[in-house]
Amino acid sequence: MSSSDEELSLSLLLPSSKVIALRSALLDWFEINGRHWIPWKLKADGTKPDSGEMLCVYKIWIAEVMLQQTQLKVVLPYWESWMSVFPTLPDLANANEKEVLMRWQGLGYYSRAHRLHKVANIFMNLIGSKRSLNSCFWPRDIETWLALPGIGRTTAGSILSSAFDLPQPLLDGNVKRLLARLFASSKPPKRDLFRLWLISEQLLSPLKPRKFNQALMDLGAMVCTPFNPRCDICPWQEYCSAYALGKQKEFPVKEPAKPLPFEVIGIGVVLNHHHQILIDQRLEQGLLGGMWEFPGGKKEVDESIEQTIARELKEELSIEVEVGEKLIDFEHAYSHKKLRFIVHICKWLRGKPQPLASQKVEWVSPESLENYPFPAANTKIISSLKKYLNTDKLTKDP
Ligand code: SF4
């Protein structure tokens, strides 16, 4: 910690009377209004844990990784389905990559699924298959968790406080917003992390860390919401600087918005004479690694979309096609760019498909497409393709 950090941390020490008042108002609110039903925060018999009682680390770790960038209500069915297929660490470690991606399909940020699988194998070496079934043998120190790929301070803090009731602070998106409003932070949260972490640490109840952290997340998610904070029912109203200023919606201070880069992508749904469809598997590294997709690529300036598709299929798969009618045209936004996909049905003419820019290519029947993990954008293509094939088009050449 630098001397300026130390000065800042001393200046941030909240008066203990205020800390105690904030803690107790929040914990009282949580008892009545909190989300006490979250399945991985309950014991195996469905009851609430007592103070200091251990919960299943494996279940909490999976949930916390799923919750990175994703809301609880979205995660719930994925977590349930995951637990029905990989109920324990050895089940996950021994699964193949395709099964893991299939369970993740639709959650986005697929590198998280790859990392979960990788970390499952690290834990198998660290803890052992049999001992992994008992949470006692899982690591309780934050350094071990932070050394794992894909685990940041919030995820580690949430796992340790939820599973072992240890006093580790957290700072997820909801909590950043809540604390930025409570103290009317003058900087966007991204530029004020040091201060926000200190506040989260100072507020944390040393006696009830699991309850306190859950209460903080629940208040952020249910009351101090992004667009319409429910200050009328907020237990922190009398302490809230943004509320006192009457400017709740002006906090957190926003970063100036940058427009997302935009690209047009030409995609070919290639059919052969046996009415099989050509799909390829993305390289393991990079965005959507290991997922399957329909081939295509970025449209160059002064190129028609038909030319883009024919060129991309030649360059990336070494095949020649006749580009036919348009199947679908839609936009899809990722966190870092926005894409417009223009998809055409193509007739394969010649050339054995080669995975020149992917790791694998396969001809598959339309029915078997659902056995492959596809990114969310491709599911629109699959449903349009199903409609297309259900017409009389299959009886004709594409
Ligand atoms: S009073 Fe309003 S703005 Fe302040 S913490 Fe509560 S809900 Fe958020």
Burial class (CB in 10 A: 0-12, 13-18, 19+), 19: middle
7 band by pLDDT with thresholds 50, 70 and 90: low
Ligand 1 site, residue 231, Cβ cutoff 6 A: yes
User: Does the pTM exceed 0.85?
Assistant: no
Do residues 179 and 286 both lie within one domain?
no
Q: What is the dihedral of CA 53, 58, 61, 67, to 10 degrees?
A: -100
Contact 158, 78 (CB under 8 A): no
Average pLDDT over residues 183-207: 94
397 band by pLDDT with thresholds 50, 70 and 90: very low
What lies within 8 Å, CB to CB, of 334 at 6+ separation is 287
Do residues 160 and 303 both lie within one domain?
no
Mean predicted lDDT score pLDDT of the chain: 92
Do residues 235 and 276 both lie within one domain?
no
Number of the ligand 1 atom closest to the C-alpha atom of 248: 3
pLDDT at residue 170 in the model = 97
Domain that holds residue 356: 262-395
Do residues 233 and 185 both lie within one domain?
yes
SS3 of residue 193 by DSSP: helix
Do residues 109 and 190 both lie within one domain?
yes
The enclosing domain of 333 has a CATH number of 3.90.79.10
Number of the ligand 1 atom closest to the C-alpha atom of 230: 7
Average pLDDT over residues 299-328: 95
Task: Give CA–CA dist 41/214, Å, rounded.
Answer: 9
Q: Whose CA is nearest to atom 2 of ligand 1?
A: 231
What lies within 8 Å, CB to CB, of 231 at 6+ separation is 237, 240, 243, 248
- Flag whether 289 is in a domain: yes
Of 250, 283, 317, which residue is a domain's last? 250
pLDDT at residue 383 in the model = 92
- Flag whether 255 is in a domain: no
**106-120, 294-308, 314-328, range with the lowest pLDDT:** 106-120
Q: What is the pLDDT of residues 226-253, one digit of tens each?
A: 999 999 999 999 999 999 999 999 999 9
Give the distance (Å) from ligand 1 centre to CA of residue 95: 45
Do residues 225 and 359 both lie within one domain?
no
Q: What is the pLDDT of residues 341-361, one digit of tens each?
A: 999 999 999 999 999 989 999
Site of tokens 């297929």: 85
N- to C-terminal Cα separation, the chain: 66
Task: Give CA–CA dist 92/43, Å, rounded.
Answer: 21
- Flag whether 273 is in a domain: yes
Amino acid at 272: N
Do residues 167 and 281 both lie within one domain?
no
2 band by pLDDT with thresholds 50, 70 and 90: low
pLDDT of 5 above 60: no
pLDDT of 396 above 50: no
Of 218, 250, 282, which residue is a domain's last? 250
Q: Whose CA is nearest to atom 4 of ligand 1?
A: 240
Count of domains for the chain: 2
The enclosing domain of 8 has a CATH number of 1.10.340.30
Do residues 123 and 90 both lie within one domain?
yes
Do residues 296 and 226 both lie within one domain?
no
